Amino acid sequence: MIIEKLHIQPLAVVAILVTMLLSCSKSTTDPELPPTDVSETPLVFSPTAGWPVIANGSAAGAGTGAGDGAGTGTGTGTGTGAGSGTKALITSASELQQYGISLFATASKDANTYAVFNNDLLKYSNSAWNYDITKYWIPGARYSFTAFAPYATNSRDSKSISNGTVSSTGTETAPQITIANYISGKVSTGSPQFDARCEDLLFASHIRDNTTGSDYSSVPLHFNHLLSCLSFKIRNATSTDIKSVENISLTGLQYKANINVSNITAAVIPTAETVGESEGFFAGSNLTGTVENPFLPKGMSEEQSKDLFDCTDLTALPQTIYGKEIKIKFTVRYSNDSSTDYTGNLGSIDAIASWEMGKKYRYNITISSEDIIFQVSEIPWIEHNVEL
C-alpha cells in the first residue's frame, strides 16, 4: 500500500476522476466464412473475471494488461463495431449477464482470414452464454478472439455517455482491435459538460491455434478492467458541523483515448484533450444537509467518512497524474452559514505518479480546524475473483 499525506490550507485539496465507454457502427470487409469447410462442433464461450490481473501502466500514461490465451494469433481485416457503457461497475456475474458482451473474432487458414464475429452480442440466457447464429470451428485454422463488456447497439443508448470507433485490423501474427477516440464522460449539450456517472469497460482476449491440433473446447474469456478506479472520502474533524459541500468540480484530467487490444494485451493511450476549467467534471455537484442533520457532523472519525460523489467508486482513464494540473474544487458551508472555498492539485502528489489500468486509488480528505489533510493510497479494486 502506498500512502502519502498532504497538508494544505483552504483553497487546497486534491482529487480527480473520470468515466467512460463507447459506441459505434458495424460492418466488415472480411470474406465470409467458408460454407463447407467446417467441423460439426459449434463455438461456445466461458466468460470469467479475475481482478486485478493487470500489469502496470507506462510512464507515458498508457495502461497495459494481459488477457488469456495460448499459441500464435492470426487475423486481418477491417470493420467497425459498437461498444457501450454502464452506469455501474461490473463486480458480479449477474451484472455482466445483464449487459452482455461485444464479441470480435477472426479465423485464418490457407492464407485467408475470415471474420467469424464482428461486434456480435454474446448474451446470457437459459443459464448459458449464447449468440444468434451458430458458428462452427474451422479445422486447421488459427483463431483470435477479443471481447468487450458491456455490449451496446450501434447507436448511443441510455446507458452510454461516450463514443468511439471500433476497427478490426492487423496481420496474421498480430491481429488488433482498436477503439479510436474513446471519450470519457463527455455530454454534447447542457450543463455540466461532463456527466457524473460511474461506468465500466472490460476486455478479454484469447488465441486458439488449431493449425496442428483440434481443440474445440469452450473459449475462455477472462475479463479485466481497462480503466482505473477512484474513490473519494471526506470527513469533518473540526468542532463545527458542516451543513453541505457545494460546487464540487474536477478539472485537468484527460478524457479521450485510443484503446488497442492485440495478441492478448491491451493499451489505453490518452490523447492531449483535458477537462477545462470552464467545463468541470461533476461541475456544480452538491452534497447537502441541514443544521439539524448536517452532511458532515463535527468530530467525525475516519470510519465515519462519507463519499464525496454519488458514485462510491468512479472510473478514469489510466494516465500520468504527477506534474499535471489536475484539480478538485469545492465549497464547505458550515452550520453557521459561513463558507470556505478549497482548491487543490492532485498532480502535486508524487506518491502515485500514474493511475494504472485495473487499479484503485482511494483519496481521503479530512477537514481540520487548521487546514485540510489529503491522504492517498493504492488498494485492490476487486478483492476477490468473480466467476461469470
In which band, very low, low, confident or very high, does the pLDDT at 324 lie, cut at 50, 70 and 90?
Answer: very high
In which band, very low, low, confident or very high, does the pLDDT at 52 lie, cut at 50, 70 and 90?
Answer: very low
Range 190-218 average pLDDT: 79
Q: For residue 269, is pLDDT > 80?
A: yes
- Round to whole Å and give the CA distance between 35 and 132: 18
The pLDDT of residue 297 is 95
- Round to whole Å and give the CA distance between 282 and 232: 13
Strand partners, 267: 64, 260
3-class secondary structure, 94: helix
Range 219-247 average pLDDT: 90
Which residue has better confidence, 281 or 366? Answer: 366
In which band, very low, low, confident or very high, does the pLDDT at 64 lie, cut at 50, 70 and 90?
Answer: very low
Which residue has better confidence, 54 or 308? Answer: 308
Sign of the four-CA dihedral 280, 285, 287, 291: positive
The pLDDT of residue 294 is 93
Which residue has better confidence, 21 or 40? Answer: 40
Task: Output the nine-digit C-alpha cell for 155.
Answer: 447507436
The pLDDT of residue 173 is 57
Which range has the worst mean pLDDT, 9-13, 16-20, 61-65, 198-202?
Answer: 16-20
In which band, very low, low, confident or very high, does the pLDDT at 218 lie, cut at 50, 70 and 90?
Answer: very high
Q: For residue 341, is pLDDT > 80?
A: yes
Strand partners, 383: none
If we measure between CA atoms, which residue out of 69, 65, 83, 68 comes closest to residue 26?
83
Q: For residue 149, is pLDDT > 90?
A: no
In which band, very low, low, confident or very high, does the pLDDT at 262 lie, cut at 50, 70 and 90?
Answer: confident
The pLDDT of residue 304 is 92
In which band, very low, low, confident or very high, does the pLDDT at 373 lie, cut at 50, 70 and 90?
Answer: confident
Which range has the worst mean pLDDT, 70-74, 115-119, 160-164?
Answer: 70-74
Range 48-66 average pLDDT: 35
The pLDDT of residue 342 is 87
Q: Among residues of the chain, what percentage have pLDDT more than 90?
A: 20
The pLDDT of residue 18 is 27
Q: Among residues of the chain, what percentage have pLDDT more than 70?
A: 65
- Round to whole Å and give the CA distance between 86 and 265: 23
Range 236-264 average pLDDT: 88
Cell 505518479 found at: 353
In which band, very low, low, confident or very high, does the pLDDT at 352 lie, cut at 50, 70 and 90?
Answer: confident
The pLDDT of residue 130 is 92
- Judge whether 361 and 378 are in contact, CB under 8 Å: yes
In which band, very low, low, confident or very high, does the pLDDT at 131 lie, cut at 50, 70 and 90?
Answer: very high
Most confident of 5-9, 306-310, 382-386: 306-310
Q: Compute the mean pLDDT over every residue in the chain, rounded to the nearest whole number.
A: 72
The pLDDT of residue 286 is 83
Q: For residue 157, is pLDDT > 50?
A: no
If we measure between CA atoms, which residue out of 61, 15, 18 comes closest to residue 347?
15
At 275-319, the pLDDT tens digits run 887 777 766 678 888 999 999 999 999 899 998 876 677 788 999
Range 202-211 average pLDDT: 90
The pLDDT of residue 102 is 86
- Round to whole Å and give the CA distance between 219 and 205: 10
- Round to whole Å and give the CA distance between 347 and 198: 22
If we measure between CA atoms, which residue out of 139, 169, 167, 171 comes closest to residue 74?
171
Which residue has better confidence, 51 or 97? Answer: 97
